Structure 1
Amino acid sequence: MDIFKVLVADDDQNVRDIIRLYFEEQKIELVEATNGVEALEIVEQESPDIILLDVMMPKMDGYETCREIRKKYDIPIIMLTAKGDEIDRILGLELGSDDYVTKPFSPRELVARIKAIFRRMQPRQVNPEEIDKDAYEFEGLKININRREVIVNGEKVDFRPKEFDLLAFMAASPGNVFTRERLLEGVWGYDFIGDNRTVDVHVKKVRAKLANLSINCIHTVWGVGYKFEVETK
């Protein structure tokens, strides 16, 4: 698919105009919303490929809008924020956003991030020699690669795509220590523009889902990164 649809939700007309003009040059279809409520309606009606959410919007802010979208959809979300504090960026990631851009931003950088996300959405042609097996099995835990399923003690656990990719990537090499940079490269790709905290947020989510079922498998190696070893409680 050469042309894809992006929803931008921002109450600032100037921001939407700048994005629209640059997107037209890049042959990107744009749909617009001025607040979170409108954004939710457009998601239902238009099925955009990627969503840009401003944090500070009337009626429903970007954080709440992101939370509502994540209840039903797995569409990639980029948060647009005038806030530069790390806590604001991390909050967006924890609510389910895939990336963030701080205002004022370069339209060229924004398009680069969108295209990077879009490339990662495409099916990857895998060399059969790269696949050791169809599933990784440990005590109480099975990760089915072909079905993209995680089974814990016989119960299926829902994981978002990047959460699954992170777990499967690490499970392929139990005991190996991965730096955050290596995980970004292996799971998000060479062209990912975000920072290392993206890894930390996704590790936190994976741990929480498995801990609820008494599985502890991603361990912090202080000063280095993380490793995969299954421990049952």
Structure 2
Amino acid sequence: MERKYKLLIADDDNHIRTTFKDYFTKQNFIVETASDGIEGLEKLRADEFDVAIVDMKMPKMNGIDMINEALKSDETDANMIIISTPHESNKGDVIKALNIGVNAWFEKSELEMPQLLKRVTELAQVIPPEMVKRITSMIQN
């Protein structure tokens, strides 16, 4: 039996959330959504996700801050992808995102779903280093 990967989509655009959820559900993912950065952070803290697709600009908390909060406290093992429009980000944002551990960045205007699916699947199949450490420490005890 093939394992279903769990995906979080955090975006304030209802059309994007719905489109992505429908697409990834058809690709055999378990999908949850969040409509702002605070809700996305709460879901990352409350549940385990393999990958999170996070919009750069959202109400209440932007995508980089949401990811930073989740990753800095070791509350999630999810691999992170940021999506944005060209006017929402700059070179400094990209550098900050890479430094905090974002695994990929896609521009919404150039986004092709098969390309996003490929990257999400690749990331979902990776075992995060934090999980490897936890498993190894449990085995050693």
TM-score class, shorter: 0.7 to 0.9
Whole-angstrom distance in 2 between the partners of 1:92 and 1:25: 29
Q: Residue 92 of structure 1 corresponds to which residue in structure 2? A: 97
Whole-angstrom distance in 2 between the partners of 1:33 and 1:19: 12
Question: What does 1:179-198 align with in structure 2 at a 5 Å threshold?
Answer: none
Larger Rg: 1
* SS across alignment from 2:39: helix
Aligned residue pairs: how many? Answer: 125
Query: Percent identity among equivalent residues?
Result: 27
Q: TM-score, normalised by structure 2?
A: 0.79
Q: 1:122: Cα distance to partner?
A: 8.0
Q: 1:95: Cα distance to partner?
A: 2.3
Q: Which has the higher helix share?
A: 2
Structure 2 unaligned spans of 5+: 130-135
Query: Deviations for 1:28-51, whole angstroms, at most 9, x for unmatched residues?
Result: 111000111101111122221111
2:37–2:62 CA contact under 8 A, matched in 1 = yes
Question: What does 1:76-155 align with in structure 2 at a 5 Å threshold?
Answer: 76-83=79-86, 85-104=90-109, 105-121=111-127
Q: TM-score, normalised by structure 1?
A: 0.49
Structure 1 unaligned spans of 5+: 124-146, 149-233
2:4–2:29 CA contact under 8 A, matched in 1 = yes
Question: What does 1:49-68 align with in structure 2 at a 5 Å threshold?
Answer: 49-68=50-69
Q: 1:24: Cα distance to partner?
A: 1.7
Q: Residue 133 of structure 1 corresponds to which residue in structure 2? A: none
Q: 1:85: Cα distance to partner?
A: 4.4
* SS across alignment from 1:98: strand
RMSD across aligned C-alpha pairs, in angstroms?
A: 2.2
Select the structure with the greater relative contact order (CA < 8 A; seq sep ≥ 6).
2
Question: What does 1:211-230 align with in structure 2 at a 5 Å threshold?
Answer: none
2:17–2:33 CA contact under 8 A, matched in 1 = yes
- Please say which of residues 19-28 and 83-92 is displaced more in the overlay: 83-92
Q: 1:88: Cα distance to partner?
A: 3.0
Q: Which has the higher strand share?
A: 1
Letter in structure 1 aligned against 2:80: I
